[in-house]
Every structure is written in structure tokens, then in C-alpha cells.
């Protein structure tokens, strides 16, 4: 199957899900706020497809993440009835089995944010910045962590801006003062696992893996930067 056809199929499935879950969401204002960044992201993906198509793996991982996000946006993350669904269909309570007292759908999605999106971040980094060896795994991890932190700041800013019930619904802390820290930690853990798996696969199948790894950690220039580099640039300009 061609990249174009695969991309169009995933886009169609997501569009259908979006339309279905746009009908009578639990909180219309929160649904709109949750989808603001999704709308920007989807537009960027569509506009960049021709000039910068991603791998099917990356498109699949991104699709799974935004598919789950739409469920959270429909119900609000604190009210997703995953446990009621499991009890109704399988007579099994995940919350009871895990000893959870809160709705942890948001925790799962933050973990999956790192697990699913670290690889697309790696593909972007490697193809644009030409990252290799150690840095081809380390910087995508850092990028995922930074993006998670940025989103938590965005949530905080939006909650302060809108305030009231909408702000609290969007923030979704459920009374946990450490909610943002735990979300970032889970996203970081997911990204670490994704990069570890990617690295192990590449160790197995990539020829010259060790040589590339060693080369990426070697010193490329023994000259200091900072004020020394500024002096050299001024001298060259003169």
C-alpha cells in the first residue's frame, strides 16, 4: 500500500471518529478547547504531507494517539467511563484490580504520548537535523519531554485564562496537586521505553551501529566556543 493511500485511510477513519464524538460531548466548551491544538496539528500534517511524508509507522503511532485523545475530549479526561465499559462487557474492574481511586485515563494517555510520539519525533529529528548514533535516541527523548512540559504549561495557562468549571475540566487534576509532575513523568517514561525499543531493534539489524554510536560521541572540534568563538568570528570579519 502506498504512503498516500495509507495516509488517506487513517485520515478518513479519524475524520469519522471526530464527527461521531463531536455529537453531544460531555462538555462542549471543554471539547472545543481540547481540540484546538488537534486542529492545528491536523492542518500541519495535511500541509506537510507532500513535501515531508512520514513513515507508515509514524503515521500509525500518531493516529492511535489522537484517536484516544478524541475519546478523552468527548467525555473530558476525568470522566472517560473505561471502568464502567470493562465491568459491563467483561465483568472486570481495572480500577479495583489496580487499587485506583481516580479516573486514570489521562494518566494512560500521557504515558502513551511518550510511547507513541517519541518515534515520530525521532524520525523528524533524524531527517531534519541528521541526528545519528547516541543523539538520535537521546534528543528525541528530550524533545518528547520538552513537548510534554510545554503542554502542561499550556494547560495551566488555559485554565487560568478561562477559569471556573471549564478551566478545571481542561486541567483535569482531579484534586492531585502533583498531577502535572506525574503526567510529565509518565510521558518521559513512555518516550524512554520507545527509544530503548528502537535502539535495541537497530542494534540488531543496523550494520555499523557501534561505529556510528562511537562516532556520534567523539569530539568534533577541540576549540572552545563562547567568547573564544566570538573573537574568531570578529577576526574573520575584519
**From the CB of residue 34, how many other CB atoms can be counted at a distance below 10 Å?**
22
Q: What span, in angstroms and rounded, lies between the C-alpha atoms of 152 and 155?
A: 5
Exposure letters 120-148 (e unless 16+ CB within 10 A, then b):
bbbbbbbeeeebebebbbebbbebbbebb
Lowest mean pLDDT among 108-117, 124-133, 189-198, 221-230: 221-230
Query: What mean pLDDT comes out for the span 200-219?
Result: 93
Q: What span, in angstroms and rounded, lies between the C-alpha atoms of 215 and 189?
A: 27
C-alpha 213, offset from chain centre: 26
**From the CB of residue 218, how many other CB atoms can be counted at a distance below 10 Å?**
7
The CA-based angle 123-70-26, given to 5 degrees, is: 160
Query: What mean pLDDT comes out for the span 164-180?
Result: 68
In eight-state DSSP terms, residue 49 is T
In eight-state DSSP terms, residue 208 is T
211 pLDDT more than 80: yes
Q: What span, in angstroms and rounded, lies between the C-alpha atoms of 199 and 58?
A: 16
Q: 65-119: per-residue pLDDT in tens?
A: 999 999 999 998 888 999 999 999 999 999 999 998 888 999 999 999 999 999 9
Q: H-type helices in the chain, by residue range?
A: 3-21, 28-34, 36-48, 56-75, 82-90, 94-98, 105-128, 135-162, 164-171, 179-205, 209-216, 227-237
Amino acid at each position: 500500500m502506498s504512503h498516500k493511500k495509507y495516509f488517506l485511510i487513517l485520515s478518513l477513519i479519524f475524520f469519522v471518529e471526530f464527527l461521531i464524538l463531536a455529537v453531544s460531548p460531555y462538555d462542549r466548551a471543554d471539547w472545543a478547547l481540547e481540540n484546538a491544538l488537534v486542529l492545528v496539528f491536523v492542518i500541519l500534517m495535511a500541509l506537510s504531507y507532500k513535501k515531508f511524508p512520514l513513515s507508515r509507522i509514524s503515521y500509525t503511532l500518531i493516529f492511535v494517539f489522537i484517536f484516544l485523545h478524541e475519546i478523552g475530549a468527548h467525555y473530558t479526561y476525568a470522566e472517560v467511563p473505561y471502568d464502567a465499559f470493562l465491568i459491563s462487557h467483561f465483568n472486570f474492574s481495572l480500577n479495583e484490580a489496580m487499587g485506583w481511586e481516580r479516573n486514570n485515563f489521562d494518566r494512560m494517555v500521557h504515558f502513551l504520548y511518550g510511547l507513541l510520539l517519541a518515534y515520530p519525533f525521532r524520525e523528524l529529528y533524524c531527517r531534519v537535523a541528521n541526528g545519528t548514533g547516541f543523539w538520535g535516541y537521546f534528543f528525541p527523548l528530550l524533545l518528547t519531554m520538552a513537548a510534554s512540559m510545554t503542554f502542561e504549561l499550556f494547560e495551566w495557562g488555559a485554565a487560568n485564562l478561562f477559569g471556573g468549571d471549564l478551566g478545571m475540566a481542561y486541567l483535569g487534576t482531579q484534586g492531585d496537586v502533583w498531577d502535572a509532575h506525574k503526567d510529565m513523568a509518565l510521558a518521559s517514561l513512555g518516550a524512554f521505553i520507545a527509544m530503548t525499543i528502537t535502539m535495541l531493534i537497530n542494534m540488531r539489524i543496523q550494520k555499523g551501529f557501534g561505529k556510528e554510536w562511537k562516532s556520534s560521541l567523539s569530539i568534533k572540534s577541540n576549540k572552545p566556543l563562547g567568547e573564544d568563538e566570538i573573537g574568531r568570528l570578529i577576526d574573520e570579519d575584519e
